[in-house]
Amino acid sequence: MRNAHVCINILIADRLGETMPKHKEITVTERTIACRFCGSTDLIKYGKYKNKQYYFCKNCKRKSMGTDAYPKMQYPKELVVSALTYYYNGMSCNKIVHTFNDIKGLNMPKSTVWRWIIKYSKMVNEYVLSLKPHLSEIWIADETVVNIWGEQYWYWDIIDTDTRFLIASHLSKTRTMDDAIELFSMAKQRSKTRPEIIITDRLNLYHPAFNRVFYTRYKEGRVEHLTSMGFRSAINTNLIERFHGTIKQRYKTMRDLKDRFSASVVLDGFVTHYNFFLEHSYLDMTPAYFVNIGENINNWGDLITLAYSKGYNDVNNLR
Query: How do the domains of the chain map onto residue ranges?
Result: 2-22+130-317
Residue 226 reports pLDDT greater than 80: yes
Q: Does domain 2-22+130-317 have CATH number 3.30.420.10?
A: yes
Q: Are 259 and 148 in contact (CB under 8 A)?
A: yes
User: pTM of the prediction?
Assistant: 0.80
Q: How many whole angstroms separate alpha carbon 46 and alpha carbon 54?
A: 5
Q: How many whole angstroms separate alpha carbon 82 and alpha carbon 124?
A: 15
Instruction: Compute the mean pLDDT over every residue in the chain, rounded to the nearest whole number.
Output: 84
Query: HSE (CB half, 13 Å, CA atoms) of 300?
Result: 29
Say which amino acid occupies 78.
E
For residue 37, the 8-state DSSP code is T
Q: How many whole angstroms separate alpha carbon 17 and alpha carbon 10?
A: 13
Distances (CA, A) of 277 to 80, 202, 263, 299: 16, 32, 20, 7
Task: Look at residue 158 and give its three-state secondary structure.
Answer: strand
How would residue 71 be classed by pLDDT, with cut points 50, 70 and 90? confident
Q: How many whole angstroms separate alpha carbon 94 and alpha carbon 133?
A: 35
Question: Per residue in 22-61, pLDDT tens?
Answer: 544 444 444 567 676 676 788 888 887 666 677 888 888 8
Q: How many whole angstroms separate alpha carbon 83 and alpha carbon 91?
A: 9
Question: Per residue in 129-170, pLDDT tens?
Answer: 999 999 999 999 999 998 887 889 999 999 999 999 999 999
